[in-house]
Structure formats: structure tokens, C-alpha cells
Structure 1
Amino acid sequence: MGARSTAAERRTVAELVQERWGDHRPGLWFEERTLTHHEVAAGAAARAALLTDLLPSRAQPHVGVLLDNTPEFPLWLGAAALAGAAVAGINPTRRGPELARDILHTECRVLVTERTHLPLLDGLELPGVRVLVTDTQAYEDLLAPYADARPEPGPGRATPRSRFLLYFTSGSTGAPKAAICSQGRLAAAGRSLVGHFGVRADDVHYICMPMFHGNAVIADWAPALAAGAGVALRRRFSASGFLPDVRAYGATYFTYVGRAVQYILQTPPRADDRDNPLRTGFGTEAGAVDAAAFEERFGVRLVEGYGSSEGGAAIQWSPGTPKGVTGRAAPGDDLAVIDPETGAECPAALFGADGLLLNGHEAIGELVNRGPNPFEGYWRNPAADAARGRGGWYWTGDLFYRDADGYLYFAGRTDDRLRVDSENLAAAVIENILARYEGADAVAVYAVPDPVAGDQVMAAVAGTFDPPAFEAFLRAQPDLGTKMAPRFVRVLDRMPVTATNKIHRAGLRREGFRCADPVWWRPTGEPESAGYRLLSGADVEALVARYRARGREELLLR
């Protein structure tokens, strides 16, 4: 499954960094600090020269970056590009052996970090790894001899095929895998987004999503670099700091993932919310309701896009795309919605007069790219490569359905599919319904095993929960199927999320109904009129005994 070869992909990120040399416009803002484009290119050149000297001979040219969104992060991205090296974004929310595993798995012989993250490394066995701590005098002294370095191409340096990013999947399910992104692919992605959104050199891209993840680098930093636009950094995402930052930096574009938009909407509204310079927000999974509320409040259109983290499939939004629709396939992609059990293409979605999906049980399948695509594999993980590319197709791991006009609708992740009483359900479809509940700030739906066979529906609701009101709400929803009503409802103050602000479904699923939060449930066999009642310790013991009697107790730990 090789990458496409286009004129854009024959460019490198290193060339884009070199083009900023001599550009003395402001190019990077962080808190009280401002760097020109020239200073950014010069800083990248100095770090590239240092990295070249630090890497042992015959070592993989990989540098781990364990940083918040500080100027050092884009400087080391530029340095790696110039040196023909790859950056492995290390997730600071990982701990202990898992954190060490990420660093060692990607074979980083140099690790760049800052003092605030040093405690994470205490007690870790990292043989052969040189640690650089950016906010120290020792680091400044180490860089000083390279101050006059220039971002000039050298023999054997960057090519379009050079590995540039080793970025981990979010870790919401299973051990994170390090996806490979080459310089050519990232440069092409940046230039494509420049054209799609009309990015100009006088734009300012606000990066508030973590740069150790592909979203911030590929969809925010790369198009800014390709267009010569400025970049404003936020150390860590802050809902309350979002609008003040946008105004202070004159930001015109930002990216988002997961629940970030929802958190911003939960900040107290102000009469001057629409007084801001933003033109566009680009991301995924904001949801049609939140996207409309964001545009109404801030006057900013959110463009929902879809691109698998590994680059194997993309769906493009375009003017005229109906609300609630992700978009159509990108040019050249042969996308299909496939039943993963039969390998056959799913039938088109059918909708009622009110727009409700009528045949979700047969129309929802896994999105597959059957044509050439730029997936470049995972670092040293042939099993994961084979699973993604089985049968010569690229399997995204995401659920969609497609209407008769070719529009694609996101329906969740394949690991978020539930099977209740032999009926297949998509968690995202149920979530969209439960999100209408007045007391819900956030909703997550996931499977817990049934004591006998298949799954039961469990929902986590962050916000306020009134059982009688919730029951009345469920009865009033015309598109809530007979198998969709949650058997269990976990009530939380705040929804747990991964480091990339996606709901941490793996943790919710693993805890199931045996959690510290209040859980309301409707026992199997009781009429719906009996309503929800609080799950007690005795109830849990009785439930577990049922699983044990059926030999399914171990499924509670999946």
C-alpha cells in the first residue's frame, strides 16, 4: 500500500523551513515571547546541527519530544526536517513503563524535554537515551556553538521519503502505535490545506491542541509553514483562555479535536463573543449541535473533516455539504462502507420524512479505502500494518454510513459497535440521541457485556441526571430504537478524556458498572415503567454472580 507520488509530495518540510530564512516578519508567538520567521528558521538550523552531532553513528535518526506546546516544539520539528530525522511526539500523560515503552519503541537516542516533565522520567530505565532539558542553562550552553548554523541542504539529508513524524495513536484503545509520516506527505498535506482554506501569509494559526499528536502538527502547523503564516502557541488547551488568546494574537484559524468545542461553549457567554478575528475552525467530532452553537455564539464556522491519523483515507467538506454530513471522498480515493464480517459493501442509508436513519443495522459499516492511499505504516509493528491493510485495502477502524448521493456520515469507531439481542448498534448514533438530554454536558455510550450473550448499552453522562426526567426524555425520542435505551447510566461531574481530548472510552468500558460514580440501572426483565434505580453493592454482587455462572466474568475486565 504505497503512497501516491505527486508534484506536491516531492517537496520536503526542510524546504519549507529554508524558505522562511530571511523573513523578518513576526512568525511565532508564545505568552510574552515573539520570534520572527527568520529566528525560527535559525533556531531550527542550530538544533539540526546539534542533533547531527549528538546522534550516535548507525542509530536511527529519531528524536523524542516530551514537551508542552512551547516554542521548542516547532523549533525541533524544523530541526528534524533539516537534519533528515524524525520526531516522535511523546505523550506527557503516559506514566512509568508505558512512557518508557514509547521512548524505547521509537528508538529515540535523544529526548528533548523541560523541567516540568522531568519527574515523569524518574526511575525509568532508558539505556542509551540522551536527555536535553530545554529550560536550563546547560541546554543554552549546548546550543551556543551552533548559533551561526544556516538551514542549508546537505548531502544525504532530507528527501520526500524521509521519515519525519512518528506519532502515536491516541491510546483510547490498546497500546499506542507509532504511525509514520514522511516529509513529502506532511508537506503535501500542508499545501493541500492552504488551498482548501485559502491560508494567507498574514494569517495566524492558533495551536491549542497538543503538538505530540498528529492533529496539531498536520492540520495546524503544516499549513501555516507552507503558507508562511504565523503560529501562536498555547502551552495546554484552556477553554477560558481560548478567546482571550485568539484576540491577543489575532488568530484566524485553529484546529480542534474531541470535546474542546464543547468545553469552550460551557464558558460563560459574553455580549462581545463575536468580536474576534477567527475565520475558520477545522477539526472533527464537534457534533452538528455544538458546531451550530459555536457559529451562532462566536460567528465562526467550524469545518468538520475526516482523515484517518495514518493518512489512509480522507473525506473532504465542501460548500453545499448538508448539515450532519462529514463530506464526500477526497479526489482519487475509492472509499466504501463495508460490512467487516462479509466484506460486502453496505446498502445506502435510508431516511424517513423527518430525516431519521431507518436502516442503520445494515447501512452502518467500516469505512475502507479500496484504492491507492498514502498510508506509510507503523514503526516496527507488522501485525498492525497487516490489520490496517488486510486484503490490499485500507481499513480505517471507523464506522460510517453512506446515502444515495455519496455523502458519508460518521457513526463511531469499530470498537464502539454494540451487539444487543443480535442487533448491531453504533455507539455514536445512540450518543447523538442522548446528547439532546437537557442535563447532559457530555455523553459517552459504550458496550458492557451481557451476562448471557452479546452486549448491553451503558451510557456515561456528565452533568445533572434526574431519573424520571431522563426516562420521559427517552420515551419522547422518535429515533431511539428498542435496543438503544441504556441499561446502565453512570453519572459523572466531568467526562474522562485522553491526552488528545477524546473521550476515554477504554477506561469507561474497563470500569463498566463497577465504578466509584453513581450508576443508575434498569434490571433485565423488569418493565420499562419500573424506571431506573440506583445500583447498590448488593446489586453488583448479584450481577457478577450471574456472569460467573455463565462463565463470562472475565468479560467484565475486557
Structure 2
Amino acid sequence: MSGTVREQLLARAGDPGAGLLFEDAAWTWDEVVHASAVRAAVLAELLPHDGPPHVGLLLDNVPEFAFLLGGAALSGQVVVGLNTTRRGAALAADVRRSDTRLVLTDATYAGLLEDLRLDVPVLRVDSHVWADLLARHADASLPQASVTADDLLMLIFTSGTSGEPKAVNVTHEKVAHPGRFLSERFGLGPGDVAYLSMPLFHSNAVMAGWGPALASGATVALARRFSASGFLPDVRRHGATYATYVGKPLTYVLATPERDDDAENPLRLVFGNEANERDIDDFARRFGCVVVDSYSSTENAVIVQRVPGMPPGSLGRPVEGVAVLDPETRAEVPVAEFGPDGRLLNAEAATGEIVNTTGAGAFAGYYRDPDAEAERMRGGMYWSGDLAYRDAAGFLYFAGRTADWLRVDGENLAAAPIERVLLRHPDVAEAAVYAVPDHVGDLVAAAVTVRRPLGADALATFLATQPDLSPQAWPRFLRVLDELPRTATNKVLKRRLTADGVADAVPVPHP
């Protein structure tokens, strides 16, 4: 069993099968491994020898990113995935806190770095200097390196939806293991093509896309960036049988004009997390594939498994050791109680934080951030920061982030169940529920994007027909936006919605 990504790459050396596709270019796996060895040699020349061998990549999903990631895996170097949506002092802080010793970028993002004091070299991979370096090391052999499963391969920043992003330690095992597991689970092999449109600086593309393709010998097809209109043409052009997503890409693809031949494509499986049930079903029907949505995070410390016949809206059933605990008492919360109309009767008591009570799981810590690690690892247990409740059969239901608590009329409410109600409306494409401060406690506000015009009166009429919506959970304000503020990995920035207030909102009639 391969415990490192280095071993998995070495297993692809000499493989004549298709390894990488990008636009109109193609490389065999053997060529990918050699290109990776060349980049390892270049980085060995460029990186200082007196500190951590960390190289920051400020790039889209271009072949250089894949080759540099492979080179780091072969040689024991570490890729720092720099978020291409970060700007100014925030981007510079990411470079500093990750001990990045060299930043590689290209014409697309070089301008973001021009006025920043980074105190490290910046080199463009589309420059003649880079081309000369590659030519000088063109005959590089596979590097000799001692790499273990616990060694760092990447630093991947969290999305930062509830604060400053944290650099997650991504070891070789954190990529090699899910690569093996997912490729076996989904039956991926050399005949498959994995389409990667999520950014390579994030865990989804690396752990759920690149890793399984590498482990199984499937082909990686890179999209420079995600494009809703370009998704299906890319799938057809590359013959993609497998694709990944995180957040709302399914919603965006479904918003493109439907055609009679949409299901005429090679796609058989789409895997990701945070899609809503309606989009999962609609996407599978429209494009003739299976969509598997899974609870996940970059830290990868909590496992909740989807099983056949699970209730609508459920995340699945947690593995042994995963529980829902009260953050204050650290006791397990009561089982959720539902009325005959489906309404959650004991929401405040039954909602708690998802916790790995056995320890850290696959969480390898945050880089140079002991305070953040201590916050995650309280009492020897991993606290996910995600809220949930569980039914009598043991199924978990996502209730939002710990920052998604709203205090309404003396009752704690979670945002996610209200969002699920809003998404039942046929005209609502996306929904984000957040708190608006009141004199005492909060009022519920909803920001939505819509398929067709939606007014406050029409929404109120719809909400009145939803038996499981409590009076306290009724949205008092409606904001219809062209798009919700999101991170680069499609997660909603609710703190920005809260900061924007409700000046552009309309009141929703309340019964």
C-alpha cells in the first residue's frame, strides 16, 4: 500500500497512458513524472537551503501547478497553495505565515504582487527565465529523497468564512490515502478521466480529484478555472467520466440553458460536498450521471457516511466516535424530536457541534498556529466548528457553522434548516440565512439568488405553507442579489452579508 504521494508517482513512471490533459495539450503519465522531476530539480536550485522548502503557487489550474505539485511530492518539498482571490496585505500575510521562500506566478496574477513587500523572490513561470531553468534541468533524473507518510506535501488555507484563513498541514498520507480509497470506492482506473475545475490550491481538487487519478492511473483533465457554460463542453472534449465540486458549482451549471442532448456525455460520477438535495437530483437527471455529495473539510478529521435509503436532508450516518456535543457542557445533545408536520421541536437542545471524540482523526494540525490547533483540539477531541442534530436512527443533519447561530425571541436557531426551507421554492436558486442584530437578540435575514423574480409577498405566501418552519425562523428581511459573496471555493461569506446590513432588503410579511 502506497503511504506517500512520491510512491504513487513513482508507480506512474514509464506509464504510456494519458496522464494530463489541458486545453489542446496532452502528456502521458511517464511525461508527467519526468516533468515533475525537472521541476523538483529547478526548485532545489532556487529554494534556500537554510529553511523549510516551501514554494508558494499563485496560479490557476495550469499544467505548471500539476508538475510543481508532483515535483514537490517526489523531492520532499512543500507546495503552499496561495488563494488567487486574496489581495494586498492579506495575501502577503499568507506568504509570511506559511514560511514561503519563493513565489511562482504568471501574467494572470503577477500584478497582485508588484506592490507587496514579501521579502522573498517572485518568479513568473511564463517567463524566459523559467524556460531557461527548465531547459537547464531537462535531463533531470528522479530525485533521491526520503519521504514519509507524515511529511508535509502542501499547506492549504481554509476558506476563511468565519475569520482569517488557517494553513492546514497536508501530509503525504492526507493525499495518498483518499486517493486510494476514493479510486477504489468509485472504481476509477486508466480508462477514466478526472475533470478538475475546482482550484488546485484547495483540498477538493487535490484530495478528491488529483489524488484518486494518480492512485488509479486515470487521466487528469485540468480546467484553468471553473466555468458553468464551459463545464459540459469540457466534459465532452476531454471524455471526462469523473468530476469534483465544492459549494455551488452544480447550481451554476444547472442555471445554463437546458438542451435535449445534455445527457449525451461521458460523465458517470460527480463527487463533492455542500450541494443541496434539489441540485443533486436535478444534475443527475439532466446530465445522466450519479452525484455523490459528502460531508468534508480541509482538516478531514470527521467522517460521516452516506448510505442507501438515508432520509432527505441528512448528511448521513457518522462513523464510530463521531458525536454531536454541547460546546459548553461537552455532553452529547438529546436526539432531535420532530412533530407530525416535520418541524424540529427541540432545535436548541438537539443542536450541537460535530466532534470526533476519539481524537484528531486525519487532522495534522495548522502550520505555526498553536492557538487555532488548541481551539480545534479541546479535551483531546476534534471540534469541527459545524453544527448538526441527529435523529433517532442516528442520521446527522447539518445546521450550519458555529458562527451561524441566531438568537431569536430567546431561542437559538441554526441557519441551515431555514436555508433548506427557502430552497424548496422553485424560484430560489441559492439561499443564505444570517443574523441581523435587533434590540435584544437577532432577526432572521435571507439573501437569495433567483431563477425568476421573487417578491416578499410571494415568499411569505410560500413560507406560510411550510409546516416545519417555526415562527421564530421566519425570515424578516429578503435580499435578492445577483450573486452571493463567496470565497474562491464557493462558500458563502456570511460575515460580509451581515456587514452589508439590510438597507437593500425588503421586509417579509410575518404572520
TM-score range, shorter chain: over 0.9
Q: Deviations over 1:315-362 (max 9, x none)?
A: 1223343432222224xx400011112211111223344554333222
In the alignment, which residue of structure 2 is the partner of 1:317?
A: 306
In the alignment, which residue of structure 1 is the partner of 2:460?
A: 471
The answer to whether the 8 A contact 1:220-1:255 is kept is: yes
Q: Which amino acid aligns with 2:415?
A: A
Of residues 129, 133, 148 in structure 2, which corresponds to 1:138? 129
Tell me, in whole angstroms, the C-alpha distance in 2 between the residues paired with 1:265 and 1:41: 36
In the alignment, which residue of structure 2 is the partner of 1:365?
A: 352
- Which secondary structure does the structure 2 equivalent of 1:41 belong to? helix
Once the two structures are superposed, the pairs formed by residues 116-515 of structure 1 within 5 Å of their partners are: 116-127=108-119, 129-154=120-145, 157-330=146-319, 333-353=320-340, 355-372=342-359, 373-451=361-439, 453-463=440-450, 464-514=453-503
**Higher alpha-carbon Rg:** 1
Q: Which amino acid aligns with 2:115?
A: G
Post-superposition shift, 1:503? 1.5
The answer to whether the 8 A contact 2:40-2:143 is kept is: no
Post-superposition shift, 1:280? 1.1
Q: Which amino acid aligns with 1:383?
A: D
Of residues 75, 90, 95 in structure 2, which corresponds to 1:98? 90
Q: Deviations over 1:19-51 (max 9, x none)?
A: 111111121111111111111100100011111
The answer to whether the 8 A contact 1:86-1:163 is kept is: yes
C-alpha RMSD over aligned residues: 1.6
1:520 maps to 2:510: no
In the alignment, which residue of structure 2 is the partner of 1:33?
A: 25
Tell me, in whole angstroms, the C-alpha distance in 2 between the residues paired with 1:75 and 1:137: 18
Tell me, in whole angstroms, the C-alpha distance in 2 between the residues paired with 1:428 and 1:140: 49
Q: Deviations over 1:177-202 (max 9, x none)?
A: 00001112221121111122121121
In the alignment, which residue of structure 2 is the partner of 1:534?
A: none
Q: Deviations over 1:512-533 (max 9, x none)?
A: 224xxx31126xxxx836xxxx
Tell me, in whole angstroms, the C-alpha distance in 2 between the residues paired with 1:184 and 1:471: 50
The answer to whether the 8 A contact 1:209-1:257 is kept is: yes
The answer to whether the 8 A contact 1:172-1:498 is kept is: yes
Distance 1:480 1:319, change over 3 A: closer
Tell me, in whole angstroms, the C-alpha distance in 1 between the residues paired with 2:70 and 2:61: 14
Gaps of 5+ in 2: none
Number of positions where the alignment pairs a residue of Structure 1 with one of Structure 2: 508
The answer to whether the 8 A contact 1:335-1:369 is kept is: yes
Tell me, in whole angstroms, the C-alpha distance in 1 between the residues paired with 2:303 and 2:328: 23
The answer to whether the 8 A contact 1:205-1:229 is kept is: yes
1:73 maps to 2:65: yes
- Which secondary structure does the structure 2 equivalent of 1:254 belong to? strand
In the alignment, which residue of structure 2 is the partner of 1:13?
A: 5
Tell me, in whole angstroms, the C-alpha distance in 2 between the residues paired with 1:495 and 1:383: 31
Tell me, in whole angstroms, the C-alpha distance in 1 between the residues paired with 2:19 and 2:272: 23
1:56 maps to 2:48: yes
Q: Which amino acid aligns with 2:137?
A: Y
- Which secondary structure does the structure 2 equivalent of 1:473 belong to? helix
Q: What TM-score does the superposition give when structure 2 sets the normalisation length?
A: 0.96
The answer to whether the 8 A contact 1:21-1:151 is kept is: no
Tell me, in whole angstroms, the C-alpha distance in 2 between the residues paired with 1:82 and 1:491: 49
